[in-house]
Amino acid sequence: MGTPFISHLEPTRLDGYDRTRPHDQQPGHVPKTFSDAMEVREAVFVREQGVPLANEHDPDDARSCHWVMYASVNFTTEPEERDPHSGEVTKPRKSETRSLPIGTLRIVPFPHPPHPQPGGRYVNNVLLLDDESDGEKKGDGTTTSSGTARPRARTLTSVDEERQASALPFGADRPTTYHDGKEPYVKLGRMAVIPEFRGHHIAGQLWRAAKKWLEDNPTFFNPSVTELGMDQLKVGVAGDIPKWNGLVCCHAQESVIKLYERWGFKVDEGMGKWYEEGIPHVGMFLRLHIKEGNPRV
């Protein structure tokens, strides 16, 4: 493996991206860096962990920043051939070096949906109702002809409706151990490294790159008054405009909690445990120390 390098993609339009098709069957205008990120995510989350392909791409992808790590890998294009009698090489092996995407992660800006419900089971970001268990469904149209559960969206509570009608970022959430329910935060997610390159601190290098970028660009995700206007932001004075102050959240798979803890994240006991695509998750938070920057205008 040659010296790895990291590519960064800022939020970009992904119009026409078909989440039912793999990365190499998408429209030509899709940025290569994003396609490479999806190549890694499909290898890890879809093929390795069994997440349905249609559930891997989501609306947050277009508004997020993505980081992809590449390695220069030597591939054999034509194998060596030898004389079967003498053993001498009659045709040398031919090879070429390619840049292979080996790891990725994304940073999702605020606002975010409500914190997951403790013990909740989510499929394609939808909370399943209590009567929706794998393999057995009531005769209410929530099972497809192939026997695959089609999750029903739960009814919005008064708290949900109030949050969606509130100022950015979606008003108040339920408070947890490390989140007061109000402060804007960014979310680290979709971190994946292909199996062949694990054990080489790829994830750590990706996080350090993203962390440095966040520290260097603390106002990047803050809403622009010029672009949105005070009315759309639903704020009365400039001091009410949401501003990121270094809080980072991660919805971590239980199996990698220790990895995030080495980076300084702490498990948010108040958020509880829930399941995404059948995989147990917990919430974790980290506070970055950022410099005061000029607000976006």
Q: Quick one: average pLDDT of 60-75?
A: 90
Residues forming a β-bridge with 94: 78
Residues in the chain, total: 297
- Residue 3, pLDDT above cutoff 60: yes
**75: helix, strand or coil:** strand
Could you read off the pLDDT of 153-189 as tens digits, one per residue? 444 455 455 544 544 445 678 999 999 998 999 999 9
Q: How confident is the model at residue 73 (pLDDT cuts 50, 70, 90)?
A: confident
Residues forming a β-bridge with 89: 82
Cα distance between residue 7 and residue 35, in whole Å: 12
Residue 9's pLDDT is 98
pTM assigned to the model: 0.79
Cα distance between residue 243 and residue 293, in whole Å: 10
Q: How confident is the model at residue 294 (pLDDT cuts 50, 70, 90)?
A: very low
Helices (H) and strands (E) counted in the chain, each on its own, are 6, 12
Which has more confidence, 162 or 137?
A: 162
Structural domains for the chain: 5-77+93-287 (3.40.630.30)
- Residue 24, pLDDT above cutoff 90: yes
| DSSP letter (8 states) at residue 235 | -
Instruction: Lowest mean pLDDT of 84-93, 118-127, 191-200, 205-214, name the range.
Output: 84-93
Query: 211, 286 in Cβ contact below 8 A?
Result: no
Query: 296, 280 in Cβ contact below 8 A?
Result: no
- Sign of the dihedral defined by the CA atoms of residues 197, 203, 205, 210, in that order: positive
